Amino acid sequence: MGKDLQRLIQDPNLLPSEKQDLLLRVAAEAAAMNMPCYLVGGFVRDLLLERPVNDFDIVVEGNAIRIGKALVKQYGGRLTTHEKFKTAIWKYSGEEYLDLITARSETYESPGELPTIQPSTIGEDLKRRDFPINAMAIRIGDTARLLDPLNGQNDLAAGLIRVLHPKSFIDDPTRIFRAIRYEGRYGFKIETGTLKLIDIESLAVLGKLSGERVRHELDLIMDEDAAPQMLTRASELGIFDALVPALPKLNTAYADSFGVLPPEEFKIPANRVLLGYLLWLTDSPVVLVESLAKRLDFTADLRDAAIAAIQLKSDLPVLAGAKPSIWTERLDGTPLISVYAGWLVSKEPALREYLTKWRHVRAATTGDDLKAMGIPAGPRYREILSRLRAARLDEEIKDANEELNLLKRFTSS
């Protein structure tokens, strides 16, 4: 590709100036300790594609923990170390941090298991990676120098995702998810030989992965702009059948709703990962989602929100034309993100009204008012206040005086 690496690294439109300064600090400490340091993986890939990069890891030939301690001594901050893996996390400013990783080799004792690692050289470190496009490194220092022993630049230019060896997906089947993500994110293609390796054997190993590992990969997909295309591709390749058979394909009619975060007026926290799951699963039977939730170790919030979205979609025909009070009674207690997902797929006006108005309506009367009127505390309080709220929602009363008159009728009957 013949890119001028120094120019790319110094371009503030690609790498923010404060991160450039951070690299200079690391390079200075590395030089003083005679430990070569490298930018690796996704940073190099995206830099060569001239896409903005903000986060990066540093791979150290030597001992990353020693580099981390030197950085803390020189510049302050806090260091978290992992002696077993010879890695460190330098928290250098507020929530800003930098991962420092000792160059290593990996061996897999069993398919799908986490690897055994040994300190090694940058060359061996690059060989352990998933695809050539992620197996490039830039040595940091006075002059940026690219290491590309596996011809990652060629695959970048051709738009290809290729494994490094035939057992790659057996060793780590989460690489299948990564291949799908890169294909969708960059508009690349999985190389023909690599595609053939997503077969019965590799999918069987994938099917044995822990729910937590698989869900993490799905979380990453849901956070991508091209999530719908990635989910469809995963389905085509048999990934979901390997996890939970009979899982429906994504309804492509919902594809444009992925990543459409709630308008400010809805006052719902933005969470496009959670929303992605709801749109993916909203046409599924509840029993299937319950099975998937167990298999993938869904959080309780994710499981409950997904089931609520399914049930709400099922109830919409019954609720059509109902009074605001009926809608509100049905929707109260439903996760707001589930209501929002329901609105995205149905465009039912009542759901928008609930999110923006109805859920905020309350009776002017309080429990203290009822107590002052001599009404004994108990379940009747809830009944009275609910009836008053319903009257407000259905515009049977307009103000506090009309509410008081209605209250008197309730309490005199």
pLDDT of residue 260: 93
Per-residue pLDDT tens digits for 249-263: 889 999 999 989 999
Q: Is the pLDDT of residue 43 over 80?
A: yes
Residues 80-114 as b or e (16 or more Cβ within 10 Å = b): ebeeeebbbbbebeeeebbebbbbbbbeeeebbee
Q: Do 235 and 269 sit in the same domain of this protein?
A: no
Per the prediction, the chain carries an average pLDDT of 91
- Phi, psi at 254, each rounded to 5°: -95, -5
Q: Are 148 and 138 in contact (CB under 8 A)?
A: no
Q: Are residues 26 and 91 in the same domain?
A: yes
**What pLDDT does residue 56 have?**
86
- Percent of the chain past pLDDT 70, that is, above it, reads 99
Q: What percent of the chain is modeled with pLDDT above 90?
A: 72
In sequence order, what are the beta bridge partners of 146?
A: 138
Task: Look at the block and give the residue holding tokens 């990962």.
Answer: 273
User: Are residues 138 and 176 both part of a single domain?
Assistant: no
Same-domain status, 265 and 325: yes
Cα–Cα distances (Å) from 124 to 128, 298, 345, in that order, read 7, 36, 49
For 16, phi then psi, to 5°, come to -55, 150
Domain boundary among 139, 158, 177: 158
Pick the last residue of a domain from 243, 265, 292.
243
pLDDT tens per residue, range 184-207: 999 999 999 999 999 999 999 999
Q: Compute the distance between CA of residue 316 and CA of residue 144 in angstroms, rounded to an integer.
A: 59
Answer for the pair 28, 22: CB distance below 8 angstroms, yes or no: no
pLDDT in tens, 131-179: 999 999 999 886 778 999 999 999 999 999 999 999 999 999 999 999 9
For the chain, how many structural domains are there in total?
Answer: 4
| Same-domain status, 235 and 125 | no
Domain of 146, CATH number, reads 3.30.460.10
71 and 218 share one domain? no
Q: What is the pLDDT of residue 365?
A: 77
Q: With 80 as the cut, is the pLDDT of residue 403 above it?
A: no
pLDDT beyond 70 at 413 = no
Which whole number is the average pLDDT over 111-137? 88
pLDDT at res. 58 = 92
Q: CATH no. for residue 179?
A: 1.10.110.30
Residues 295, 340, single domain; the answer is yes
**Do residues 250 and 388 share a domain?**
no
Taking the C-alpha atoms of residue 123 and residue 103, their distance in angstroms, rounded to an integer, is: 9
- Looking at the fold, whether 256 and 306 belong to one and the same domain comes out as yes
**Residues 305 and 292 reside in one and the same domain:** yes
Domain termination residue (choose one: 132, 158, 184): 158
Say yes or no: 84 and 176 in one domain: no
The length of the chain is 413
Average pLDDT over residues 301-327: 97
* Whether residue 103 is found in the same domain as residue 200: no
3-state SS class at 27: helix
Q: Are 324 and 393 in contact (CB under 8 A)?
A: yes
Structural domain boundaries, residue 344: 244-360
